[in-house]
Structure 1
């Protein structure tokens, strides 16, 4: 064949460069672009020609058209190339002999397959590129084209550029399903996805494959990975069916990126998102979010940066979240026919067309039906008669997503499975008591053998039977294997995780004998209970809880009387509370209470524990009225039944005190908090974790009453004891650090506060994650420390970031989000756009008025802030009216000596001056100085502000000598307390009248 091995040279077209046209099947695109890159680096011009084979065009004509291509024609030989159409080997042999054999010099070929190909392919003299490294493959390619094989110089930066050798995996690869070797069609869609992502601006490379269930969205995404994956250094597949599972899978990427993190869940998640955003260590990354049907759950966690994100979803609302939608329709009829004939070669083209028509071209149905029909003696005509109602005259439509034929088609397939490997049906039914999608069947195999019923024990304990059942389900595309690593067949077949499509899940779960249902659901419940790590406060275990939570509903865990399952439900509720999943926790708590009251009775001890956890989530979401009603009723019942020294009563009473704080009833809260703490201390001692929790809550009650020095002592004791008793990175220890920093700041010790809070914020981000509500609280206090300390640039940027993330994570009306909005509004009033500040302030006032009672101190405080906005926009009279009412309301709620009342008085005096009443302004200022000095001390920042304001009022009354004395003393104390160059000192020296901002405190 040496005469066919002519070197590449210009043809009669007199091309300026030597040209090679690469003809390839879309399935082998990665090989084509790698070959083209190797040739282009050596100065050749490359033309890519994805080969198609429309069934209506004779193969001979297609090959003759191929000869019209420019330059030498290099065919990438694979079984996929010859299956397009699909065509038989006999057709190809005849066409190759007729078209290629007479003119072999126009053609060359490389083989990238070990599968059988038409015998006449020999005329192409393909050189084999399989089972070798990139260097040897390149040498063989160049030799086949008679090109010099001199080594190319290294790139200037020493890094590899261009597409990766197809047989080499990307540096980081995980979770990707095995390639579907029967994948058919979708060429235009795949190219659309590729061009959309490649052409996107940095940070905007997000595409969402949208379509109905069973249409093949996941298969398209997987094929995209294999077809274009050589252009990425990181390919990571994520189960995105819920926020908790998405966060867990994304966090698992951290060690694969060699990121320096500890084992904490939040630390790994933060590090991964930051790494992807920066593109360091890899800028060419591809993240696939599979099954992301609830964009509101995860859109805020979708990474941005130089890489690409590909989403599969049934929900078109992704278009509202920086994503380009691409619809995945059912197959075109020619794609259906081609797929069926590849899946079931015994069927004719006409039969394939009839089957596709009956199954509405839905890929999942085509795959499952054709797979077993190929092995069956049943004719297509007989099968179609069954679909018309021969099996079940009462076929119902399971879902709007499912075609009418699906349930009948599934009944036929299920009968086939029962006849061949009945254990596969048992395994399939067992899987439906996990959530659809990723099924962690390894949890079943980890159960103690004596807890497994006989029907399942044989399946779980016999590896051969287990693999036989799984392989039977795989053969008919009922399940697919999942692995987060590149697994060998032996490892993967152990079935660590299976993927079960939601259509199959729903049909199988519906069609099950009651006896199997009772037995299988009990097995899954116990498997989940056995997987409970038992410590929801340990951030290192949060990813394990994230894996368990989605399955509780499908295992109907709330109906179980098993103490282990009930403990799991309670631990999952605590996990949700610690991670800030309040809405999900409330939903689970409501369902659990309804179920357990019916199952266990109204007064079972487990009801009280469940009520406590449910109330925690409800309270954290800001519904203080509901939780006060719940906790008061529970506390009264427990007190009457068990007395005030009962631990369940004390825990409920502690929750009731928190409700009272949320409702603004601070004196009642303090009295109850003190009593609860004293009782805990007597019963358990000072170093018990429950006693420390009570001490922490006592600190909250004391702080809300404005006794900041006393609160500092309480929070310091709590923090030090928690550091000793718990680990330094325990969530409660971190909470105490923020509380301690808040106290320092409220006492005017800004530098100390910022130092403590800055360190704690770093720990929060690492341990809890950047978007955890507790982390956001810590960052918010850090911004306030920076602001009070005079670093306005840092503070302003951090205020904005915290508010934006708070709105995303918790919603605009969450109490913490509102507190963030208050700080941002106050900052904007003094250092930003006053019109935007006014708009924000009006919105905040409206939200608080809806959420809280009219006499709540927070409502008065927010109105006091708004009065300053009105002052700044020139509406002095209205501002005066608002601040006077706020002062009266705050004084009525908390007394005239509370710091918040004193702050309102400072602002009210300023507005009295502006509306022409300097006498009453001076009277109010003098009274405020006296009260502030008595309650806070002479050098507290609020007292110093009152003294500076009094000096201004005295000057307004022309009492210059007294004004000078008051001012000089205040300036001296400011310089000594805060420093001569502190912003407050400088402002007072410039005779800028001070103001006070209300800050809603955590309750």
Structure 2
């Protein structure tokens, strides 16, 4: 009598544990192996192998031993994470781990032996794919040192090499399929848990996102769970019907040609002769045309489509682009010559779209073009993206999308018109509110909210754009257009028509300009406006048409700390406006002011002076009395001089600007208060702390009255007031004031605003002065990381924070870490400002104090001896910075306690 399925083989010991480690591409093998082992009385938990790319491979393998017992590695192509791990990594990891855990690891292989790294082959894996189920079971048992008599009984998972009874039309397995493990598992769960008769999963997404490849991989991974697997190309309803009817003879149905389709649907519904079936309708973009092909019953139906209208029939499962680690792994499998960094940059440029990654990486791998050169071509707006096609997708990305776009143009002219307008704007998200401002020839569509929404919903429904938000759950608030799709649409606009679209878009950009970039309430509007200026040709048009939004966006970029973006726009505007406008045109002067503000924020003070001084001299040569333009130019040059450490010149020019501003704008004018603030900065840099503090307090009171307590410039004056209190020794008052000021910055400007970072920096220094050393150090350390992330480690603000962080670390943290921070800050200041700048010299002095804290007194004295005369030259012998350095030198020579030393603090310029 046969032994019942699942019972223990009498000759096998019970209780032995074997953890079966299997990758997603060999899941069926894992199910079969664990079933076989459990029939022999072993405990065989299944482990799904998918360690993160950042995880050390040795650690991942060693982690398998934590469960106890032996570990069986099921080697498949996917197990080795091609594109993520190298063969050399595997060889080293397997050698180290198997040596550390002798006798614990065994292996079997379900892939071509040629795919195994040398280290894997050294484990002597049993090859399970060379014969049938009984022989594979014997090999498995022998590899584990067990008697090789197959367990009796029936049932359990099908042997993975045994095909379903009926199988047709399934694409070959893509050997480069990468990732998507969570999505595949989600599809399986959704189908398994569906109510009987309603097991339909619709994969929806844009063309090229990998819906077909995902469905094909699902079939190959889970085919052993089905008796029938039938693949239908549903792009055309007539062909889909013929393919579906062709299943009739495979099911043994004897009907006439006219009845075959109905008979197939009915047989699947009844589950006769097979209950477990999987039907795939691939490319079913017209739900109504194939709705009658969907059978109910005990099987599963998987649909792929670009059309979100399937949601009226079934719940959709959106297929996203690759996650970045998946993209990098895929590109490296497709193009092994590319580095991980190159793959990452390519993936970012192509926005992780699988078809584009496949075809572009394939071409790059066969060419000598660098990724840098390719990305420059792409940035230049060309869709001549060289590609190669593969057997599993023989059409290029451009061919696929051009066909779809042509169909939209023919059947939905409103949607096509809106799509072209989106293509004139920047890649990425387009706010619908901006589209709604477009007028001229497009007013019938864009000026009618209902018609505009209908066009957008159609584009979303067909996965041409992706909705990025909705105002009330029904209206589309923004759309995302993939950059390569955008290029195809843009190139499809006839050349004579392109200017018409661009002109309409530029008009919308001008209309969307709130006109007040200094007001934080309008910053979200400028954030949405800024990316679209260059693509819409705002700098190539008549400045009278576009100067206002360009200049206001530059001001926004300066105020919010996005200097790189602002500088790119300013340089481009300068090149264009030089050709279009005379040298002293108001727009040119406004642009110069915006440009130098951005340069100054990045520490490029000499470049600023080279622009500001000639401009001021030209203005002074043509006018007898200071006016608004002269005063603005002089204020800019004074700021340059402060950055260049020519403090006395800056002070004289600051006084000139303040006097002229009082005459021109009045005592309480906003420009006058700005000049008053800047004079206080010049005084502070010269060490006149009392006078600067008094001026800051006057400015703060006036700004509260004129601008209100929550205006950014009022907050900035409060920050300067607290700084003055601290530098004049009123620590308790400074701390109380700055705690309140920091909270206001955080609330009104946000945690990432540069001014908020400055407020947090001063707060940490106030806490330090109040004896809260540990709290100050922790806050400054966190602030440094935040500033480095937002602005970069060589930004002037980051360096100012780094200087304070290093000093705090020296006083209440790790002296060795403080020394490393001091050395890095000194080098950074030297590179940015040169060796003779007082900030460079001061950071060198801080470096000396860090050396002293580590016990290297001789090196500290040598460094101080170099720094003191350099500071005397930079700011003079009587400057507080020079006097402090002299004090530190004497204190170090006398070996006085560390608390008597005074470190150098860079000030806001």
TM-score, with normalisation over the residues of structure 2? 0.62
Counterpart of 2:425 in structure 1 is 434
**Are the counterparts in 2 of residues 97 and 120 from structure 1 also a CA contact under 8 Å?**
no
Aligned residue for 1:483, secondary structure, equals strand
**Are the counterparts in 1 of residues 530 and 553 from structure 2 also a CA contact under 8 Å?**
yes
Matches within 5 A, 1:178-257: 210=327
Counterpart of 1:506 in structure 2 is 487
Aligned residue for 1:210, secondary structure, equals helix
**Are the counterparts in 1 of residues 561 and 754 from structure 2 also a CA contact under 8 Å?**
yes
Counterpart of 2:622 in structure 1 is 641
Matched, 1:85 2:231: yes
Counterpart of 1:538 in structure 2 is 519
Distance 1:463 1:803 in 2: 47
Aligned residue for 1:716, secondary structure, equals helix
Counterpart of 1:220 in structure 2 is none
Distance 2:317 2:434 in 1: 39
Counterpart of 1:458 in structure 2 is 444
Change in Cα spacing, 1:509 to 1:881, as seen in structure 2 (3 Å) is same
Residues 530-572 of structure 1 show CA distances to partners (whole Å, capped at 9, x for unaligned) of 1111221222221111111111121111122253521111111
Residues 291-323 of structure 1 show CA distances to partners (whole Å, capped at 9, x for unaligned) of xxx999xxxxxxxxxxxxxxx9975589xxxxx
Distance 1:881 1:411 in 2: 71
Distance 2:157 2:471 in 1: 32
Residue 818 (structure 1) shift: 1.2
Residue 992 (structure 1) shift: 6.7
Matched, 1:761 2:882: no
Residues 671-724 of structure 1 show CA distances to partners (whole Å, capped at 9, x for unaligned) of 000000000001111111000000010010000010111001110011111111
Change in Cα spacing, 1:697 to 1:332, as seen in structure 2 (3 Å) is closer
Counterpart of 1:694 in structure 2 is 675
Distance 2:702 2:901 in 1: 38
Change in Cα spacing, 1:558 to 1:50, as seen in structure 2 (3 Å) is farther
Distance 1:470 1:821 in 2: 49
Residue 654 (structure 1) shift: 0.5
Counterpart of 2:196 in structure 1 is 75
Matched, 1:859 2:840: yes
Counterpart of 1:520 in structure 2 is 501
Change in Cα spacing, 1:549 to 1:864, as seen in structure 2 (3 Å) is same
1:884 pairs, out of 857, 865, 872, with 865
**Are the counterparts in 1 of residues 267 and 273 from structure 2 also a CA contact under 8 Å?**
no
Matched, 1:900 2:881: yes
Q: CA RMSD in A?
A: 4.6
Distance 2:873 2:294 in 1: 97
Counterpart of 1:1002 in structure 2 is 908
Residue 481 (structure 1) shift: 4.6
**Are the counterparts in 2 of residues 398 and 407 from structure 1 also a CA contact under 8 Å?**
no
Distance 1:872 1:566 in 2: 55
Change in Cα spacing, 1:903 to 1:765, as seen in structure 2 (3 Å) is same
Aligned residue for 1:553, secondary structure, equals coil
**Are the counterparts in 2 of residues 209 and 326 from structure 1 also a CA contact under 8 Å?**
no
Residue 507 (structure 1) shift: 1.5
Change in Cα spacing, 1:459 to 1:671, as seen in structure 2 (3 Å) is same
Residue 427 (structure 1) shift: 3.0
Residues 124-166 of structure 1 show CA distances to partners (whole Å, capped at 9, x for unaligned) of 9x9xxxxxxxxxxxxxxxxxxxxxxxxxxxxxxxxxxxxxxxx
Distance 1:398 1:332 in 2: 15
**Are the counterparts in 2 of residues 535 and 541 from structure 1 also a CA contact under 8 Å?**
yes
Counterpart of 1:576 in structure 2 is 557
Matches within 5 A, 1:331-370: none
Residue 72 (structure 1) shift: 12
Counterpart of 1:94 in structure 2 is 267
**Are the counterparts in 2 of residues 783 and 798 from structure 1 also a CA contact under 8 Å?**
yes
Matched, 1:444 2:446: no
Residues 950-975 of structure 1 show CA distances to partners (whole Å, capped at 9, x for unaligned) of xx7xxxxxxxxxxxxxxxxxxxxxxx
| Deviates most, 607-616 or 531-540 | 531-540
Matched, 1:557 2:538: yes
Change in Cα spacing, 1:464 to 1:586, as seen in structure 2 (3 Å) is closer
Residues 22-58 of structure 1 show CA distances to partners (whole Å, capped at 9, x for unaligned) of xxxxxxxxxxxxxxxxxxxxxxxxxxx999x999845
Counterpart of 2:791 in structure 1 is 810
**Are the counterparts in 1 of residues 269 and 297 from structure 2 also a CA contact under 8 Å?**
no
Aligned residue for 2:425, secondary structure, equals coil
Aligned residue for 1:399, secondary structure, equals coil
**Are the counterparts in 2 of residues 398 and 507 from structure 1 also a CA contact under 8 Å?**
no
**Are the counterparts in 1 of residues 693 and 724 from structure 2 also a CA contact under 8 Å?**
yes
Residue 799 (structure 1) shift: 1.3
**Are the counterparts in 1 of residues 436 and 449 from structure 2 also a CA contact under 8 Å?**
no
Change in Cα spacing, 1:727 to 1:331, as seen in structure 2 (3 Å) is closer
Counterpart of 1:478 in structure 2 is 464
Counterpart of 2:759 in structure 1 is 778
1:405 pairs, out of 391, 396, 407, with 396
Aligned residue for 1:756, secondary structure, equals helix
Distance 2:898 2:467 in 1: 70
**Are the counterparts in 1 of residues 606 and 644 from structure 2 also a CA contact under 8 Å?**
yes
Matches within 5 A, 1:563-962: 563=544, 565-914=546-895
Residue 883 (structure 1) shift: 1.6
**Are the counterparts in 2 of residues 211 and 328 from structure 1 also a CA contact under 8 Å?**
no
Residue 209 (structure 1) shift: 5.2
Aligned residue for 1:75, secondary structure, equals coil
Change in Cα spacing, 1:816 to 1:457, as seen in structure 2 (3 Å) is closer
The aligned length equals 634
Residue 477 (structure 1) shift: 4.4
The unaligned stretches of length 5 or more in structure 1 are 1-10, 15-48, 62-70, 104-112, 127-176, 194-205, 215-293, 297-311, 319-324, 334-356, 361-395, 915-951, 953-990
Aligned residue for 2:645, secondary structure, equals coil
Residues 750-790 of structure 1 show CA distances to partners (whole Å, capped at 9, x for unaligned) of 11111110011111111111121111111111111111110
Change in Cα spacing, 1:187 to 1:58, as seen in structure 2 (3 Å) is farther
Aligned residue for 2:479, secondary structure, equals strand
Residue 874 (structure 1) shift: 3.5
Change in Cα spacing, 1:632 to 1:407, as seen in structure 2 (3 Å) is same
**Are the counterparts in 2 of residues 208 and 326 from structure 1 also a CA contact under 8 Å?**
no
**Are the counterparts in 1 of residues 437 and 447 from structure 2 also a CA contact under 8 Å?**
no
TM-score, with normalisation over the residues of structure 1? 0.56
Distance 2:790 2:271 in 1: 67
Aligned residue for 1:498, secondary structure, equals strand
The unaligned stretches of length 5 or more in structure 2 are 8-155, 169-191, 203-227, 233-242, 245-260, 277-286, 301-306, 332-339, 363-381, 390-394
Distance 1:630 1:799 in 2: 35
Aligned residue for 2:682, secondary structure, equals helix
Change in Cα spacing, 1:727 to 1:912, as seen in structure 2 (3 Å) is same
Aligned residue for 2:231, secondary structure, equals coil
**Are the counterparts in 2 of residues 612 and 652 from structure 1 also a CA contact under 8 Å?**
yes
Residues 271-295 of structure 1 show CA distances to partners (whole Å, capped at 9, x for unaligned) of xxxxxxxxxxxxxxxxxxxxxxx99
Aligned residue for 1:626, secondary structure, equals helix
Change in Cα spacing, 1:812 to 1:739, as seen in structure 2 (3 Å) is same
Matches within 5 A, 1:55-70: 57=164
**Are the counterparts in 2 of residues 638 and 649 from structure 1 also a CA contact under 8 Å?**
yes
**Are the counterparts in 1 of residues 429 and 481 from structure 2 also a CA contact under 8 Å?**
yes
Distance 1:787 1:911 in 2: 22
Residues 814-843 of structure 1 show CA distances to partners (whole Å, capped at 9, x for unaligned) of 111111111121122222222222222222
Matches within 5 A, 1:128-167: none
**Are the counterparts in 2 of residues 441 and 497 from structure 1 also a CA contact under 8 Å?**
yes
